[in-house]
């Protein structure tokens, strides 16, 4: 009988119920298949032995054969450590352990004068070479020639306390491979990818790739196996997204906006606040084409802070009005919704366009009659609101266009409720001020067409970003004073991170008091997420209307606050923010014609990665360049504070930040196969389509990606 990969992991020899429970809770491994696809994070060549005199502190991992000469303990309390003096017959190296609870066990089990093979990372301390917490095995117990490339698996502290470490996972995986080899399973001969595709892309077979990812004989075998699995993972993601997109395009029809009429032309010729940039014109043309095609528009509009996305959204809405339809805009916060409402009213001036605002604060008769009734009858042309727009009692006469601002703040189910407000779904425009790297956009928003505004309106000066050490307070305060004397306003932002909220709040309160002492003649306000909404809004309004000159805040001001008179953004403890969040915060200034500044204040001792982040911020204002760098630093899971992680799939081995070319190859290949086999009926691709359906049922909900 062959091995079934869906067999619970508890039935693997050596695991049992208790270990199975730990594997499930800590690693999500519940079946043989899960263990097979739990890949090592690195491999180390265990075939080579070094002499101690060859070792240097910059080597990764090494192994040395020799014997222990003696033990000694040094230090007191927490600094107490055990040292074994180890020799290979020519030189001596120290083996060091810092966990006092293990000293007795080590002295008992590692004997003076016996031959051992020691494995670990070499270091130098006080001029002496050492290896801390090494693996120590009797020399006769290891067959180095057969060990090859040893896999290392991520494990948790809880697992280690239960006696489950990387070597344990390695043993379980070896047992599984031996079981499959002896008892057989279809996976040894089966492959999801057709032979023609494997041959064309030079991909090793599935079973070989799985084996070599865990236990490769050579570095080249590991490289080929990794390439195969990365491609497969990205390919099925792209295939699922693109198949879903094509089905939607065929099945979902859109309203046809055939004309551009009086609303659009009147606004364009008489009310446009400034000339459109070429990027804005290009994006509007793309949307006009979508909305006139008979297909439902599903477009992502990316543009840096201040690039003019709101103006583009308004002009697109006017095209809907010209064709007898309504439009709505949904924003994540009341402040942002009110800001859009005020901006639209101001831009439209005396045009006969009725704009209404619907938020949780709008209640009673005003909500019921002019807004809800007007929306139902079609008298309200444009409805702007928060989640309140999604309520069942909000009925549209003819909703033709739905605009979602800062879309990552809304869940999929919420967006779907908006689509269902009409029998024919409205055209959808999704906006974000967080630039998304191309490879991530292809994966997260693969079913959306992407438009990019990559040009700032004329007259905007680039924000000047400077790095200050925390010790340079006097110089910083002089700069703040100079800007305030010009009539400008200043933000001072502190981090608020859940793990250390108490400490962060103390920093903000102390910072607020220090600024009050430094600027006794100025009005200073503060806002943070712990305040009541009404209190927070009142403080924000004071700053918006110029009643306070300095606003001390946490990142609650990150999205959507528009104060053109604010010219300085001071970010305290900037080392604790990621790139994308720093860029979002910087975008709160630079909204007027005056020169604006972003001051990044950090402690003096910075990690190398942190210093690189600060340097990138000082060197460029390009949001896409920053997003690419942030993706490399952070990975795709969370684009810094914006929680764009809504990925409907897990990546076991591919890395969107580093595998951009492979993402493109996977997408091109998926598109080609969909062209060749649009009905998914060619025998050559049968196994591939079956596997995609299995993924669809088990792991991936492609409809989440929109």
pLDDT tens figures, 667-684: 899 999 999 999 999 999
- Asked whether residue 279 is assigned to any structural domain, the reply reads yes
Determine the Cα–Cα distance for residues 513 and 517; give it in Å rounded to an integer: 6
> Averaging pLDDT over each range in 113-122, 367-376, 648-657, which range is the top one?
113-122
Determine the Cα–Cα distance for residues 605 and 680; give it in Å rounded to an integer: 58
Q: Do 127 and 169 reside in the same domain of the chain? A: no
- Asked whether residue 337 is assigned to any structural domain, the reply reads yes
Give the 3-state secondary structure of 390-420. HCCCCCCCCEEEEEEECHHHCCHHHHHHHHC
Contact in structure between 580 and 552 (CB atoms under 8 Å): no
Between the alpha carbon of residue 511 and those of residues 506, 508, 515, 582, 687, the distances in Å are 8, 5, 6, 19, 62
Residue 502 has a pLDDT of 61
Contact in structure between 455 and 278 (CB atoms under 8 Å): yes
pLDDT at 469 over 80: yes
Mean pLDDT value across the chain: 84
Q: How confident is the model at residue 24 (pLDDT cuts 50, 70, 90)?
A: very high
With tokens 């090859």, the residue in question is 148
- Asked whether residue 645 is assigned to any structural domain, the reply reads no
- Asked whether residue 480 is assigned to any structural domain, the reply reads yes
Contact in structure between 170 and 151 (CB atoms under 8 Å): yes
Give the 3-state secondary structure of 601-643. EECCCCCHHHHHHHHHHHHCCCHHHHHHHHHHHHCCCCCCCCC
Q: Do 18 and 164 reside in the same domain of the chain? A: yes
Residues near 422 by beta carbon (within 8 Å), at least 6 away in sequence: 396, 398, 399
Lowest mean pLDDT among 122-131, 322-331, 618-627, 684-693: 618-627
pLDDT top residue among 234 and 149: 234
Residues near 465 by beta carbon (within 8 Å), at least 6 away in sequence: 586, 597, 598, 599, 600, 617, 618, 621
Q: Do 575 and 552 reside in the same domain of the chain? A: yes
Residue 446 has a pLDDT of 62
Compute the C-alpha angle 160/166/167, nearest 5°: 105
Determine the Cα–Cα distance for residues 429 and 548; give it in Å rounded to an integer: 36
Residue 20 has a pLDDT of 92
Q: What is the pLDDT of residues 213-272, one digit of tens each?
A: 999 988 888 899 999 999 999 999 889 888 888 887 777 778 899 999 999 999 999 998
Q: Do 408 and 479 reside in the same domain of the chain? A: no
Q: Provide the token pair at 592.
A: 């007027």
With tokens 């024919």, the residue in question is 424
pLDDT top residue among 588 and 211: 211
Crossing angle for the helix pair 579-586 and 623-634, to the nearest 10 degrees: 150
State the Cα torsion 575-576-580-585 to the nearest 10°.
-90
- Asked whether residue 469 is assigned to any structural domain, the reply reads yes
Name the percent of the chain lying above pLDDT 70. 87
**DSSP code per residue over 32-87:** HHHHHT---SEEEE-S----GGG--TT-S-EEEEEEEEEEEEE-SGGG-EEEEEEE
pLDDT at 699 over 80: no
Q: Do 475 and 397 reside in the same domain of the chain? A: no
pLDDT at 78 over 80: no
CATH, residue 507:
3.40.50.300
pTM: 0.63
DSSP 386: S
Rounded to an integer, the average pLDDT of 329-344 is 86
Closest to 261 in 3D by CA, of 324, 319, 326, 348: 319
Q: Do 129 and 39 reside in the same domain of the chain? A: no
Q: Which of 422, 453, 484 is the last residue of a domain?
A: 453
Residue 145 has a pLDDT of 59
Q: Do 448 and 301 reside in the same domain of the chain? A: yes
Compute the C-alpha angle 298/299/301, nearest 5°: 155
Q: Do 339 and 473 reside in the same domain of the chain? A: no
Q: Which of 127, 147, 167 is the last residue of a domain?
A: 147
Between the alpha carbon of residue 141 and those of residues 89, 101, 107, the distances in Å are 20, 26, 19
Residue 162 has a pLDDT of 80
Residue 381 has a pLDDT of 96
Q: Strands across the sheet with 298-303, in order?
A: 355-358, 382-385, 326-330, 399-405, 427-432, 298-303, 449-453
Count of C-beta atoms within a 10 Å radius of residue 417: 16
- Asked whether residue 492 is assigned to any structural domain, the reply reads yes
With tokens 């070094």, the residue in question is 50
Number of domains in the chain: 4
Crossing angle for the helix pair 166-183 and 206-214, to the nearest 10 degrees: 150
Determine the Cα–Cα distance for residues 108 and 89; give it in Å rounded to an integer: 23
pLDDT top residue among 501 and 84: 84
- 516 alpha-carbon distance from chain centroid: 37
Lowest mean pLDDT among 14-28, 283-297, 418-432: 418-432
Closest to 142 in 3D by CA, of 179, 159, 167, 124: 167
- Asked whether residue 70 is assigned to any structural domain, the reply reads yes
Contact in structure between 326 and 400 (CB atoms under 8 Å): yes
Q: Do 508 and 418 reside in the same domain of the chain? A: no
Full domain range(s) for residue 175: 9-43+155-180
Q: What is the pLDDT of residues 615-664, one digit of tens each?
A: 999 998 877 778 777 776 765 544 333 333 334 456 778 877 677 788 88
Exposure b/e, 384-412, CB count within 10 A at least 16 = b: bbbbbbbeeebebeebbbbbbbbbbbbee
Rounded to an integer, the average pLDDT of 533-539 is 82
pLDDT at 1 over 60: no
Name the percent of the chain lying above pLDDT 90. 41
pLDDT at 371 over 70: yes
Q: Do 439 and 493 reside in the same domain of the chain? A: no
Determine the Cα–Cα distance for residues 280 and 623; give it in Å rounded to an integer: 17
Contact in structure between 133 and 96 (CB atoms under 8 Å): yes
Q: Do 305 and 436 reside in the same domain of the chain? A: yes
With tokens 């075998």, the residue in question is 221
Residue 101 has a pLDDT of 80
Contact in structure between 29 and 165 (CB atoms under 8 Å): no
Give the 3-state secondary structure of 241-279. HHHHHHHHHHHCECCCCCCCCHHHHHHHHHHCCCCCCHH
Q: Do 488 and 621 reside in the same domain of the chain? A: yes
Between the alpha carbon of residue 335 and those of residues 305, 358, 543, 601, 644, the distances in Å are 17, 12, 13, 28, 21
Q: Provide the token pair at 670.
A: 């998926």
3-state secondary structure of 571: strand
- Asked whether residue 661 is assigned to any structural domain, the reply reads no
Residues near 498 by beta carbon (within 8 Å), at least 6 away in sequence: none
β-bridge partners, 432: 302
Q: Provide the token pair at 7.
A: 């067999």
């Amino acid at each position: 009988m062959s091995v079934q990969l869906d067999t619970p992991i508890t039935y693997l020899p050596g695991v049992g119920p208790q270990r199975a429970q730990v594997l499930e809770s800590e690693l999500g491994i519940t079946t043989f298949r899960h263990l097979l696809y739990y890949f090592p994070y690195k491999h180390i060549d265990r075939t080579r032995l070094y002499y101690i005199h060859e070792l240097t502190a910059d080597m990764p991992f090494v192994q040395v054969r020799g014997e222990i000469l003696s033990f000694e303990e040094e230090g007191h309390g927490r600094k107490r450590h055990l040292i074994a003096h180890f020799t290979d017959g020519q030189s001596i190296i120290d083996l060091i352990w810092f966990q006092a609870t293990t000293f007795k066990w080590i002295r008992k089990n590692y004997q003076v004068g016996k031959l051992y093979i020691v494995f670990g990372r070499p270091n130098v301390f006080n001029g002496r070479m050492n290896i801390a917490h090494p693996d120590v095995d009797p020399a006769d117990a290891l067959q180095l020639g057969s060990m090859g490339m040893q896999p290392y698996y991520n494990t948790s502290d809880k697992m280690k306390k239960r006696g489950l470490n990387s070597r344990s996972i390695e043993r379980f995986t070896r047992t599984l491979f031996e079981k499959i080899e002896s008892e057989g399973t279809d996976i040894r001969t089966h492959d999801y990818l057709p032979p023609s595709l494997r041959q064309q892309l030079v991909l090793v077979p599935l079973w070989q790739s799985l084996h070599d990812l865990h236990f490769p004989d050579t570095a080249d075998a590991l490289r080929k196996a990794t390439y195969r699995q990365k491609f497969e993972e990205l390919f099925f993601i792209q295939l699922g997204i693109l198949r879903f997109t094509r089905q939607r395009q065929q099945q979902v029809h859109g309203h046809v906006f055939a004309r551009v009429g009086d609303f659009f032309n009147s606004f364009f010729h008489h009310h446009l606040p400034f000339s459109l940039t070429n990027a804005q014109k290009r994006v509007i043309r793309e949307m006009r084409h979508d909305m006139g095609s008979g297909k439902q528009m599903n477009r992502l509009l990316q543009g840096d802070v201040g690039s003019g996305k709101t103006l583009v959204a308004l002009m697109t809405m006017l095209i809907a009005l010209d064709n007898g339809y309504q439009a709505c805009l949904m924003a994540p916060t009341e402040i942002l919704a009110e800001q859009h409402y005020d901006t639209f009213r101001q831009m439209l001036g005396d045009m006969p366009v009725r704009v209404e605002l619907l938020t949780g604060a709008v209640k009673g008769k005003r909500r019921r009659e002019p807004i809800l009734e007007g929306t139902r009858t079609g008298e309200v042309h444009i409805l702007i609101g928060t989640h309140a727009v999604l309520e069942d009692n909000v009925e549209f006469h003819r909703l033709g266009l739905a605009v979602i601002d800062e879309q990552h703040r809304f869940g999929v189910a919420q967006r779907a409720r908006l689509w269902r407000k009409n029998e024919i779904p409205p055209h959808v425009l999704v906006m974000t001020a967080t630039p998304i790297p191309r490879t991530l956009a292809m994966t997260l928003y693969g079913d959306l067409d992407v438009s990019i505004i990559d040009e700032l309106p004329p007259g905007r000066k680039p924000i000047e970003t400077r790095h200050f050490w925390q010790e340079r307070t006097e110089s910083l305060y002089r700069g703040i004073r100079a800007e305030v004397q010009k009539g400008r306003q200043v933000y001072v932002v502190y981090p608020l991170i859940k793990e250390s909220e108490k400490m962060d709040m103390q920093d903000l309160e102390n910072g607020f008091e220090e600024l009050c002492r430094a600027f006794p003649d100025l009005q200073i306000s503060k806002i943070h997420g712990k305040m009541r909404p009404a209190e927070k809004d009142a403080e924000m309004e004071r700053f918006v209307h110029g009643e306070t000159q300095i606003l001390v805040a946490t990142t609650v001001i990150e999205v959507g606050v528009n104060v053109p008179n604010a010219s300085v953004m001071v970010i305290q403890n900037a080392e604790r923010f990621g790139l994308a969040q720093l860029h979002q915060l910087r975008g709160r200034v630079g909204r007027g014609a005056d020169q604006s500044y972003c001051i990044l204040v950090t402690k003096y001792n910075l990690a190398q990665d942190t210093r690189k982040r600060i340097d990138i911020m000082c060197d460029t204002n390009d949001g896409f360049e920053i997003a690419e760098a942030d993706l490399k630093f952070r990975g795709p899971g969370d684009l810094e504070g914006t929680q764009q992680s809504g990925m409907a799939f897990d990546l076991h081995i591919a890395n969107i930040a580093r595998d951009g070319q492979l993402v493109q190859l996977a997408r091109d290949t998926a598109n080609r196969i969909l062209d060749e086999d649009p009905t998914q009926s060619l025998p050559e691709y049968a196994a591939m389509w079956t596997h995609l359906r299995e993924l669809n049922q088990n792991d991936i909900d492609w409809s989440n990606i929109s």
